[in-house]
Amino acid sequence: MKNRINDIKLKFKAIFGSDEGLRFFAAPGRVNLIGEHIDYCGGYVFPAALTLDNVVAIRKNGTSGTVNLAATDLEGIYSFDLNDIEKARDLKWGNYQAGVIKELIKKGCKVEGIDMLFDGTIPFGSGLSSSASIELATGIAVSTLFGGNFDNIELALMGQSAENNFCDVNCGIMDQFASGMGKENHAIMLNCGTLEYKYVPLDLGDNVLILANTCKKHALGASKYNERRHEVEVGLSVMQEAEKASGVNASDVKNALCEYTPDDFEKYSAAFTDNIIKNRVQHVIYENDRVKKAVSVLEAGDLQGFGKLMREANQSIRYLYEATGDELDAMYDAAENFDGCIGSRMCGGGFGGCTVNIVNRHRIDDFK
Ligand code: GLA
């Protein structure tokens, strides 16, 4: 880390002319172990922070409103003015940072001109939340410099808001929460409906986690992500109408898909006229149930049981939610047929990105 910080410092000086008053902040990427595409339905998710991260070097630049952004792996400086943040929507790079800064200002943070240099180790588009990590690193760095007194959950919510309202990705809270609240050697069981959470020790015994990158970028905005969100909204209204039709008072119907149990789904499944919507809803409701089971089997030390649920989760998102694709499916099938792999599944938004695998530590090279 020391060498990395030194390198960043040198680069900062080369780009911005001086490193006086320079400070460093960082935020990690995440892997989600189980619970996919249900954070925006009020479901449980089970992510863990990674050692892959974004480090940002930052200093005030003495101007009232010029924000200069650079990255160690990009040419050039991307700038915008705090008095016209909207313009930063069009930046080729830097809109996540601008969106977060806009949120901070909205919450009363008195931001002035800054120079920032980002150094990221999370492969972009790999489904490991490089954008949430940029959002959290920006939030922590800028709010610390300008006396904003926010905890990491507030910063996570601001990151999500930035992504929803400034970057046009209608994501849930999982990635930002995991980046802001991750803890070494633990995963977080998070209820995305209430933001209640608990840390669960990630004891994999003789196994390791391997992230296998398909190198197909998942490009959330352009992908089917927002379409899936729309489909589950339609699905929620079908469930609610079915509840009412069965005699439940309008004021008592459930507000989020993940408040329904698998039994509820089976009870109301005849109400679906569109098979695709029904499949999406089935995935969401059963996946939420799987997360609860997965956390209890893990807490009981049953890694094989956890791996089995991972595989079920993968097949559900593959066939019912249809958020994988040839590359992820090939990667999953290869892992599934490997005898040293306890469990494998796609992870993150899907349509590309990584699989997460639990692999016997003596078989790592064979697995790779
Ligand atoms: C992306 C989104 C998250 C979540 C996952 C799928 O990572 O940013 O909010 O919806 O996809 O589980």
**Nearest C-alpha neighbor of 46 from the set 289, 351, 262:** 289
- Is 331 inside a domain boundary? yes
Distance from the alpha carbon of residue 195 to the mean position of ligand 1, in angstroms: 15
289: enclosing H helix or E strand = helix 275-299
The protein residue with its alpha carbon nearest to ligand 1, atom 11, reads 349
Q: What angle do CA 260, 266, 269 make, to 5 degrees?
A: 95
Amino acid found at 156: A
Contacts for 206 with CB less than 8 Å, ≥ 6 apart = 360, 361, 362
Would you state the pLDDT for residue 222? 56
**pLDDT digit string, tens, across residues 7-18:** 999 999 999 999
| Ligand 1 pocket member 36 (CB < 6 A) | yes
Distance from the alpha carbon of residue 126 to the mean position of ligand 1, in angstroms: 12
Both 69 and 169 in one domain: the answer is: yes
Would you state the pLDDT for residue 224? 85
For residues 158-171, average pLDDT: 94
Would you state the pLDDT for residue 219? 65
Q: How many domains does the chain have?
A: 3
CATH number of the CATH domain containing 165 = 3.30.230.10
Both 47 and 160 in one domain: the answer is: yes
Rounded distance between C-alpha atoms, residue 38 and residue 13, angstroms: 43
Q: How buried is residue 71: exposed, middle or buried, by Cβ count under 10 Å (0-12/13-18/19+)?
A: buried
- Mutate-to-test residue for ligand 1 from 131, 161, 164, 171, highest number of ligand atoms within 8 A of CB: 171
Residue 91 to residues 13, 74, 82, 110, 160: CA-CA distances in angstroms?
23, 13, 14, 23, 19
264 band by pLDDT with thresholds 50, 70 and 90: very high
Both 212 and 241 in one domain: the answer is: no
**Nearest C-alpha neighbor of 348 from the set 122, 100, 174:** 174
Both 208 and 246 in one domain: the answer is: no
| Model-wide pTM > 0.95 | yes
Both 237 and 173 in one domain: the answer is: no
Phi/psi zone of residue 51: left (φ > 0), alpha (ψ -120 to 50 degrees), beta?
alpha
Q: Which tokens in the block code for residue 271?
A: 């109400």
Rounded distance between C-alpha atoms, residue 321 and residue 266, angstroms: 17
| Ligand 1 pocket member 40 (CB < 6 A) | yes
Both 173 and 285 in one domain: the answer is: no
Domain that holds residue 353: 203-224+323-368
Q: What's the whole-number average pLDDT of the chain?
A: 96
- Is 15 inside a domain boundary? yes
Distance from the alpha carbon of residue 161 to the mean position of ligand 1, in angstroms: 14
Which residue is listed with tokens 């009870």?
267
CATH number of the CATH domain containing 347 = 3.30.70.3170
Both 10 and 21 in one domain: the answer is: yes
For residues 199-213, average pLDDT: 96
| Ligand 1 pocket member 172 (CB < 6 A) | yes
| Residue 366 is among the residues annotated as catalytic for this protein | no
| Ligand 1 pocket member 135 (CB < 6 A) | no
Q: Which tokens in the block code for residue 168?
A: 């046009």
Annotated catalytic residue, options 53, 115, 119, 175: 175
Rounded distance between C-alpha atoms, residue 290 and residue 310, angstroms: 9
Both 158 and 171 in one domain: the answer is: yes
pLDDT of 342 strictly over 80? yes
For residues 228-236, average pLDDT: 97
**pLDDT digit string, tens, across residues 118-127:** 999 999 889 9
| Ligand 1 pocket member 349 (CB < 6 A) | yes
More confident residue, 1 or 262: 262
**pLDDT digit string, tens, across residues 288-311:** 999 999 999 999 999 999 999 999
Q: Is the separation of the CB atoms in 120 and 131 below 8 Å?
A: no
- For strands 186-191 and 197-201, give the pairing: antiparallel
Contacts for 262 with CB less than 8 Å, ≥ 6 apart = 285, 286, 289
Distance from the alpha carbon of residue 47 to the mean position of ligand 1, in angstroms: 11
- Is 297 inside a domain boundary? no
Ligand 1 atom nearest to CA at 220: 1
Both 125 and 269 in one domain: the answer is: no
Determine the 3-state secondary structure of 98 from DSSP.
helix
For residues 177-187, average pLDDT: 98
| Ligand 1 pocket member 39 (CB < 6 A) | yes
Determine the 3-state secondary structure of 53 from DSSP.
strand
Both 211 and 251 in one domain: the answer is: no
- Is 298 inside a domain boundary? no
Q: How far is CA 273 from the centre of its chain?
A: 32
- Is 285 inside a domain boundary? yes
270: enclosing H helix or E strand = none
Distance from the alpha carbon of residue 202 to the mean position of ligand 1, in angstroms: 21
| Ligand 1 pocket member 43 (CB < 6 A) | no
- Is 251 inside a domain boundary? yes
- Is 294 inside a domain boundary? no
- For strands 197-201 and 23-32, give the pairing: unpaired
Rounded distance between C-alpha atoms, residue 346 and residue 90, angstroms: 31
Both 97 and 154 in one domain: the answer is: yes
Ligand 1 atom nearest to CA at 40: 10
**pLDDT digit string, tens, across residues 21-78:** 999 999 999 999 999 999 999 999 999 999 999 999 999 999 999 999 999 999 999 9
Q: How far is CA 209 from the centre of its chain?
A: 18
Both 173 and 142 in one domain: the answer is: yes
- Is 299 inside a domain boundary? no
